[in-house]
Structure 1
């Protein structure tokens, strides 16, 4: 057992599992202390997500942007960067996809839909390029810049909607059908949910990130720069260019996440008074998934199950939805305490010696 825990691959599997179990346990304790039935609460989540087609569809729909934002954070982290600006990159990608769809509504779906997704990736990539360039050339920390860029994205998109694409209801006009990812077939199967074809895009993005990082020379170079920029520079790698490229790719993934919301879930973009939170949730998903593609998919699935199931948890067991937020926060806390978990496990396997 000790050898397994010392193996990083096994450790990356064991820690998230323990973190999830501890999070659910803490959530159950809080429910008991506040007078709620945790068994009924968790049962309602499982029954709604896995036995009711509508909530199953809504869960898969919620998984889509979480996978993409989780991949955006994980990709940057794998290359030695911490992209806190995923939320802003998502917003500009969302707006760009909707704007292009409305402006070029006369184009056939075969052209307009890929074009809208591509433009969203370019917009998100541009939003990542700015902090990447500042990091590479001026050594400005990317965390500070990306946080500020989130606010710029929020208020810029609001301004553009109000002055150029405003429709009744504090939103843009709906996108044309030729740019939509919505599916009557998927909606009927899931009994009226907003499930759309974006799940294919998200899964392809996960494969792309895995292949780029672990099966290409450029991916090795990006990871090497993140691991040790000084050694990489000594080996002849262009560290500055790789930093910028990493942030561009990370931003592009976040931008595509925004297009999934605009072209799939909502079919428009609303004026937001505050952040929608999907980009920030992507940070948690990446942490839970240990910054791997398959881990991000699993992490996004867990978060989506908890978020969607919290609705029926409230209606069936009377448990406030805020309990789910506490559970997610506790899971993240234990993920961040991974070295403490490893130490405790090693102590237990050694019999307390």
Structure 2
């Protein structure tokens, strides 16, 4: 007998987990002498109450969609890819190199090239841990964590010794040529008479992220490769018996995972900063883990979870600014959401399963 319907697993468990997280976050805010209801109002207004806030929310959401999809591909193979941070860093390097190499006449030509290079560099950075896992038995968690630090060190060196503008103080590349600047929501919506804040960083890469989620769905549930990835993740023994090559699947899944993480750079490097700067990823690779877990490794769930974390990032910044709530407390709120939707998943799942089993038995009687 099925313990719980699929819709309950996909909707009710994340919903109750979020409600619990916000309940305890409210207690923490109340504990420091602030009004939790006023705090949530400030967060909602700051994230969705203006086109400027919405632009920042969608900007963060775009980053988290890419890194969430990245982790989900590996997760379907039962691989815990914690290297999204480093893979996104190297993706940024690929995007910067291709944007600086050519005087692009228009962004429609620059964007496909930047996507290809970002994905290529991210996939290349994921290949080595994938090969070590597939051929040498090295644990993917350990190698991908180590490669995050290596990526940060490598990028720091390149930005201070190789790619840095001569005479400049900041560890960053030169600004990309105008032809490589992506259109913002302000520029995209102006022809339709919609006034969107021109300073908001949301840009066309948000649409690319949504398209990537759609392609992810086709890949995982409509192609032979996706079936092999999911079959291997569900049972390696059965997959081997069916003739699926484990090494091939591990390497291909990690290459796709790294490529998706590298694609994030079209948003934060090409779209927002319009140059490569140090620490441009800002932890999005790690947030992508929580996004994928909360979204149940499904593209629809990942997009919604990414929007939630975009709201937490932008709303949290507004909360810290207007209510004088310490930034550390905003991090605590984000951590509570991650804890309840990830680590404490069974605390919500088990009672719900018991409830559904109780009512299903009652119907049988």
| Both structures adopt the same fold (TM-score exceeding 0.5) | yes
Task: Name structure 1 gaps, 5 residues minimum.
Answer: none
- Structure 2 residue aligned with 1:290: 296
Q: Structure 2: 5+ residue runs without aligned partners? A: 190-194, 360-365
State the match for 1:7 in structure 2.
5
Superimposed CA distance per residue, residues 276-299 of structure 1 (whole angstroms, 9 cap, x where no aligned partner): 211011111111111111111011
Task: Report how far residue 119 of structure 1 moved.
Answer: 0.5
From 193, 202, 211, give the equivalent of 1:204.
Answer: 211
**Counterpart position of 2:286:** 280
Residue 36 of structure 1: SS of its match in structure 2? coil
| Partner Cα distance (1:304, 1:320) in 2 | 19
Quote the Cα distance in structure 2 between the aligned partners of 1:310 and 1:109.
32
Residue of 16, 21, 38 corresponding to 2:19 = 21
Residue pair 1:121, 1:254 contacting (<8 A) in 2 also = yes
- For 2:134 and 2:281, the matched residues in 1 are separated by 28
| Residues paired across the two proteins, number | 348
* Aligned residue in 1 for 2:87: 89
**Relative to structure 1, is the Cα distance of residues 90 and 138 closer, same or farther in structure 2, using a 3 angstrom cutoff?**
same
Separation in 2, partners of 1:130, 1:13: 36
Q: How many angstroms apart in 1 are the aligned matches of 2:266 and 2:157?
A: 19
Shift of 1:87: 0.1
Q: Provide the C-alpha distance between the structure 2 equivalents of 1:324 and 1:299, rounded to a whole number of angstroms.
A: 17
**Deviation readout 1:247-281 (Å, 9 max, x if unpaired):** 00000000001232111011111134x97211011
Q: Once the 2 structures are TM-superposed, how far is the Cα of residue 136 of structure 1 from its aligned partner?
A: 0.8
What does residue 337 of structure 1 align with?
A: 344
Deviation at 1:112, TM superposition (A): 2.5
1:133 aligned residue: 131
Give 1:179's aligned residue: 180
Structure-to-structure mapping, 1:323-334, within 5 angstroms: 323-334=329-340
Establish whether residue 222 from structure 1 lines up as the match of residue 216 from structure 2: no
Residues 332-341 or 3-12, more deviating: 3-12
Task: Write the distance in 2 (CA, Å) between the matches of 1:317 and 1:196.
Answer: 29
Change (3 A) 1:159 1:254: same
Separation of aligned partners in 2, 1:304 and 1:214: 27
Equivalence for 2:57? 59
Structure 1 residues 179-188 or 165-174, which shifts more?
179-188
**Structure 1 position 177, deviation (Å):** 1.7
Q: Map 1:84-123; keep pairs closer than 5 Å.
A: 84-106=82-104, 108-123=106-121
> Post-superposition shift, 1:190?
2.5
CA contact (8 A) 2:29 2:36 kept: yes
What is the alpha-carbon distance in structure 2 between the residues aligned to residue 319 and residue 152 of structure 1?
35
The 1-side partners of 2:2 and 2:36 are apart by: 33
TM-score scaled by length of structure 1: 0.93
How far the C-alpha of 1:27 sits from its partner, in A, is: 0.7
